[in-house]
Chain A
Amino acid sequence: MTIASQSSREAQTASPPAAAPAAPDRTPARRRTTLTRNRWGYAYVAPFFLVFGAFSLYPFVYTAWVSLHRTSLSNIDGGTWVGLENYRNLLTSEFFWNAARNTLTIGILATVPQLCLALGLAHLLNYKLRHRTFFRTVMLMPYATSIAAATLVFSQLFGRDYGLINTALEAVGLNRIDWEGGTWSSQVAIAVIVTWRWTGYNALIYLAAMQSIPGELYEAAEIDGASRWKQFLNVTIPSLRPTILFTVVVSTIGAVQLFGEPLLFAGNGTTSGGSSGQYQTLGLLMYQQGWSNFHIGQAATTAWAMFMIILVIVGLNAVIGRLRSRADR
């Protein structure tokens, strides 16, 4: 995960309370007492903001500052001012566009099946099952598994020569696939890892939302003649709409920041994302620029570009959500 994008996420969640206390007009005496009282309030929240400022806001702004310099990891403060040159370089770099395209395709390949699967699983778990708690716990296990451990197992599964999947393909008479070598195959493999890790997590979020749907709605729909499927379409999905929007946003942010899975999938710790960069994501590219090529200024630029992409996506989602709710009224 990048310094910049992580801090940006915190900045979004943390900004409202700072703007909150707007004092309405009061008599001077009253104002003094509220000020005194507020001073204690500020004192209590101060530790958070100090830590937030030191470890989130400052690095966030500093990353922007660094992105305007040509500088290396060993000499961060001693770079030369280049203005927006790093940004110009980034936008004309084929590596950036390759990484952006890979991030997009892997993102779609991972997010769409992930959320659909999660919805289906949540629906199944919402039925009265034996050992329901057990199944719900199992759902969270991939999420609790270390990404390194998971990816190790998966790169064995997707191995070309001794991989379990290729063995299975051969057994049914199909050709072996060089999962790591191909563009689509490597991206599919990485999407499978991401999907495996996050489906249960999203399913639990959907399940929690489903449990707050009143049972009478389903009974009413049943009497109205709706089949199970129609009930799912006409009662469950509309009731889950805000939750679905939330998971789409969170998964999209996760997809833009995708780093660990492609790094570990390569198997040798290189950040090139395959021999021809066929699965190099933006996260990998940034790491490569900063920590392999020591162009920390360029890396900071990529970090900011990723942050912008997330801002645009989240903003688009908010606009769509607002338009929909306005149309609803």
Chain B
Amino acid sequence: MATVTFDQATRIYPKAERPAVDALDLEIADGEFLVLVGPSGCGKSTSLRMLAGLEEVDAGSVLIGDRDVTDRPPKDRDIAMVFQNYALYPHMTVGENMGFALKLAGVDKAERARRVAEAAKILDLSEYLDRRPKALSGGQRQRVAMGRAIVRSPQVFLMDEPLSNLDAKLRVQTRTQIAALVKRLGTTTVYVTHDQVEAMTMGDRVAVLKDGVLQQCDTPGELYDRPANVFVAGFIGSPAMNLVTGQAVEGGVRVGGAVLPVPREQLARAAAGNGQVTVGFRPEAMHLVGPGQGLPVLVNVVEQLGSDAFLYTKLADEETDDVLHPSDVVVRTEPRSAAAAGQKLWLGVREGALHVFDASTQQRVD
């Protein structure tokens, strides 16, 4: 077990305009499950590969425990990695795949067989040890890839989108299994995904990246409740947070025809840039109010999920039904609510549920 530290780690691909990973600073505690999340091209996989030693580090350093591994080859780092498409050796059986690293490390045959059998038992693979990967289902292959990692009892697990080749149902199932397994083993884990639900459900902490720059690293709860900037606010949560930019006026922010109340001091700081303020409110932070009291919106689409219903609405003018803003405002309501497409509603934002950002810097203002 070990900690992992990224210290100003930077990766610049040849001929690239900007770094793929830009001065990443990250401390991962011993036994922690850290998820790197972000849209494609944000540098999350590159960061993981820098830790694995598959990608050069152009500036800064990477530490595992107290050891600087920046210039060490992968095999000297005591890590194990699970690849997106598993990268199982096609000509080896499941057992040989799992035992390959041990074989290379010179572990004797009996010990090897014992450890492979142990890992296979944990992953429910015991009866498949003599099969080849091509004779396995997608879920079983995924488990073999996991098995290959845990057999070695490395200091750090690296997982690069290990669930993205599974179907939706299996993905949810495997998600909880991996989280439970890693918790039980207590091994430090760095997990890359583009799926924020995966990130929120699995991670002890979640690091959000965008364009190679770390935006925020925090517990899922904090990330959800106090996003550090507009990007994180919009990225975390499904459906996404509603974000609207408006002019700061006396007592709040003007959004369409209505004014959303913001405390005076907070408003002053948020408007310090150019007078524009971005406000965010989550779908579940809204409730319906009487006509003329809150934000007037026109219902565009109603999504019934059984447990909830989501109204996809557009900001509308108070008097006429003209749409004022093209972006959606999503509202979570009771299932089977009476709302129908084309209906006009008035929305109120729950007390204290409004997120305020400076529109010029995109940063959160409390």
Contacts and interface: CB of A to CB of B under 8 A. Distances in A.
Given A224-B100, A225-B104, A328-B132, A219 B91 contact: no
Contacts of B101: 223-225
Q: Is the interface of A mostly helix, strand, loop or mixed?
A: helix
Contacts of B73: 222
Interface in A224-239: 224-226, 230, 234-235, 238-239
B81 A220 contact: yes
Interface residues of A, number: 19
B85 interface: yes
Nearest to B158: A223
Contacts of B132: 328-329
B74 A234 contact: no
B79 interface: yes
B104 A223 contact: no
B183 interface: no
**Which of A214, A234, A235 is most buried by chain B, counting CB atoms within 10 A of its CB?**
A234
B89 interface: yes
B162 to A, nearest CB: 12
Nearest to B77: A223
A247 to B, nearest CB: 18
Interface string A235-253: 1001101000000000000
Given A216-B85, A230-B104, A234-B100, A223 B90 contact: no
Interface in A246-275: none
Contacts of A329: 132, 135
Contacts, number: 62
A217 interface: yes
B338 interface: no
Interface in B133-166: 135, 148
Contact of B74 (A223, A235, A328): A223
Interface string A307-329: 00000000000000000000011
Nearest to A225: B75
A222 B85 contact: no
Contacts of B88: 220
B325 to A, nearest CB: 45
A223 B52 contact: yes
B16 interface: no
Contact of A214 (B52, B80, B87): B87
B193 to A, nearest CB: 17
Given A216-B85, A234-B100, A223 B79 contact: yes
Interface in B57-90: 73-75, 79-81, 83, 85, 87-90
B89 A217 contact: yes
**Which of A216, A220, A222, A238 is most buried by chain B, counting CB atoms within 10 A of its CB?**
A220
B100 A219 contact: no
A224 B73 CA distance: 11
Contacts of B148: 220, 224
B305 interface: no
8 contacts: A216-B83, A220-B148, A223-B74, A224-B101, A225-B105, A226-B100, A328-B91, A328-B132
> Nearest 8 CB-CB pairs, A to B?
A216-B87, A224-B101, A225-B75, A238-B91, A220-B87, A225-B104, A223-B74, A222-B74
Interface of A: 214, 216-217, 219-226, 230, 234-235, 238-239, 241, 328-329
